Copies of this chain bind each other. A is one copy, B any other.
Amino acid sequence: MLTSTTLPISASGQITEVRSQIAESDDPLDLIGARVNYSCDNDIYYEGEPAEFVYRVVSGVVRVSKCLADGRRQISAFYMPGDMFGFEGDATHAFTAEAIADSVVQVFKRSSLTRLADTDAAVAHAILQATTNDLCRAQAHMLLLGRKTALERIVAFLLEMATRAKTGHLVRLLMSRYDIADHLGLTIETVSRTLSQLETEDLIELLSARKIILKNPAALARLTG
Contact = CB atoms under 8 A, between A and B. Distances in A.
15 contacts: A66-B143, A72-B148, A74-B147, A76-B142, A87-B135, A88-B136, A89-B132, A89-B133, A90-B136, A94-B140, A118-B124, A124-B124, A128-B128, A138-B138, A141-B142
A14 interface: no
Contacts of A95: 139
Copies of this chain held together in the complex: 2
A145 interface: yes
Nearest to A131: B131
Contacts of A184: 146
A74 B138 contact: no
Interface residues of A, number: 44
A172 interface: no
A149 to B, nearest CB: 10
A73 interface: yes
Interface in A169-188: 182-185
Interface in A19-70: 66, 68-70
A139 B124 CA distance: 22
A224 B148 CA distance: 23
Q: Name the prevailing secondary structure of the A interface residues.
A: helix
A219 interface: no
Contacts of A127: 128
Contact of A138 (B70, B139, B225): B139
A117 interface: yes
A218 interface: no
Interface of A: 66, 68-70, 72-74, 76, 87-90, 94-95, 114, 117-118, 121, 124-125, 127-129, 131-136, 138-143, 145-148, 182-185, 225
A136 B89 contact: yes
A117 B95 CA distance: 29
Contacts of A94: 136, 139-140
B138 A142 contact: yes
A179 to B, nearest CB: 13
Contacts of A117: 121, 124
B145 A89 contact: no
